[in-house]
Structure 1
């Protein structure tokens, strides 16, 4: 059964893309078939696996923006599998155990797509808003639903640091939501704001989409589970093997208020080195970092379910 998880935070620079790339790579290293979906028009996840010239040469006109544009205003979109590519650098590392890592790439033109989707959605006070909302917000969910026959175990969606139409579409398409957060002074405020928005969105979305004459929408389809907060870019040091005292204070505060993962991802230049090599850091030379990511993936699989 294919499981879809969205990685989201309204704040930028918290390591969303690093988390998505490394969790996906570790799942593939374990023998899972994994699809990464880049919903950020800055395309950082895409460029974690492809150099810009390779994107133009290998993925031109096969990005998620092209998929949305091919859908038009009425259709559910062409087969999303036609827009999937396989980064070559990671293949040797993932195929040893029968795993696979694929990606639906992004491009700057996705920004224009998001703007057009907002126009298509229209005014919430309109009598036809329910139909338009169903058509626009559910389009990605419909596309991923058709992918289930392709045998992927997991889809991980990397979103922009906002709560606009593409992020909301990803949440609707998901079984679980993963929130990366850097342990800093305003982390609690940011996480609370995000979880409140998630709660309000799921409630409003169910009011709009939860009932239909054919009964095609169910509560669980429209309300993905909150898998928890993952601490990223955690600073280590301060005379001990774990987080610095200031980071640990924030971590303890967040854990009193929200579901959190035990495993964390430390701040390290190895992650940038991995991007430069087009190989996630889980395949790198630092066993401590790889161990942390593997512990994180253990938790992720147990939380999202088989």
Structure 2
């Protein structure tokens, strides 16, 4: 990917996309992962952020560990680039480290080359520590923290696309993610309970839009039907959504069908690790590429052509010879690794 296609190089700004729906089981984590893998395969520098205390996105990419203080809890593993010379408290960083302002060190989760470079990174979540933070902090203490961090020059210069996976609610952490974002995507199943939750998410988006300046709008790129099936019940629900004056303007024509291959790719031991490593003619890969391409079009990123365009030697070197990311704190202190 050439520099002229990189948002951080052309505009000096990262695209920050939050995937949100306050009902669980709508596919937020799957779609966040899918978009991240698609963007990384295209050569963009990508940061995934898991803000859900269920840690589903984190488990997909990292071997999460039991918390010795609470065996029902999970914590991230020791960072692979941490050494004994580093602060012991920074051996494991997570979304809680970000909200605390103590510094966060994204984990490399993409394929590494011989020089240790990758272009897919993750700030993992954690269980009880994140729940405790939500209970202890006021809304106003949490709401701005993620936005401040993601707008730091050190962060904006590192990543083209930042993708935020959110918990299934409209509480403090979700609203913090929406506050931090430049774009928002709402996935939904074609089920009555799923559709009933859409107006609440649209209200959350509009509320955020009202407090922003014209130069800092948050764009709702659409409502994305997910896990769809060609059955009469779902077709009827889709028809009603198309006639709903509040929902129809945002309803995307692209849909992600219910496929076993997509669900299997969510497993940490999936083989292949990504749907985009399936054969070029695979129906699962094609429908995922189609959905991701539509999202790319709506956020203003060029749609890659994986099947026909071979990367140039210079492009390959640029994309893969990436040094490990910096440890960054909310006060911009910390060191590079």
Normalised TM-score (structure 1): 0.76
State which of 279, 285, 291 in structure 2 corresponds to 1:290: 285
Normalised TM-score (structure 2): 0.69
Q: Does 1:184 align with 2:206?
A: no
* Distance change >3 Å, CA 247–CA 99, structure 1 → 2: farther
State which of 236, 251, 255 in structure 2 corresponds to 1:264: 255
How far does residue 173 in structure 1 lie from its aligned partner after superposition? Answer: 0.9
**Which digits, 9 at most, give the CA deviation of each residue in 1:138-157, with x for residues without a partner?**
21111011144433110010
Tell me the secondary structure at the aligned position of residue 228 of structure 2. coil
Q: Does 1:39 align with 2:69?
A: no
Aligned residues between the structures: 258
* Distance change >3 Å, CA 30–CA 185, structure 1 → 2: same
**Conservation of the 8 A alpha-carbon contact between 1:271 and 1:280:** no
1:145 aligned partner: 151
Q: Does 1:224 align with 2:218?
A: yes
* Distance change >3 Å, CA 197–CA 42, structure 1 → 2: same
1:111 aligned partner: 131
**Cα distance in 2 between the residues matched to 1:68 and 1:202:** 23
How far does residue 297 in structure 1 lie from its aligned partner after superposition? Answer: 1.6
**Cα distance in 1 between the residues matched to 2:290 and 2:172:** 33
Structure with the higher fraction of residues in helix conformation? 1
**Conservation of the 8 A alpha-carbon contact between 2:48 and 2:123:** yes
How far does residue 91 in structure 1 lie from its aligned partner after superposition? Answer: 4.6
**Which digits, 9 at most, give the CA deviation of each residue in 1:174-223, with x for residues without a partner?**
111100100112333221232123323443xx2xxx6xxxxxxx3443x4
**Conservation of the 8 A alpha-carbon contact between 1:3 and 1:154:** yes
2:202 aligned partner: 195
Unaligned runs of 5+ in 2: 1-6, 8-13, 66-74, 81-90, 302-337
2:322 aligned partner: none
**Cα distance in 2 between the residues matched to 1:232 and 1:194:** 16
CA-atom RMSD, angstroms? 2.5
Q: Does 1:23 align with 2:35?
A: yes
**Conservation of the 8 A alpha-carbon contact between 1:12 and 1:161:** yes
State which of 11, 17, 21 in structure 2 corresponds to 1:5: 17
Unaligned runs of 5+ in 1: 72-76, 122-132, 211-217, 236-242
Tell me the secondary structure at the aligned position of residue 303 of structure 1. helix
**Conservation of the 8 A alpha-carbon contact between 1:9 and 1:179:** yes
Tell me the secondary structure at the aligned position of residue 290 of structure 2. helix
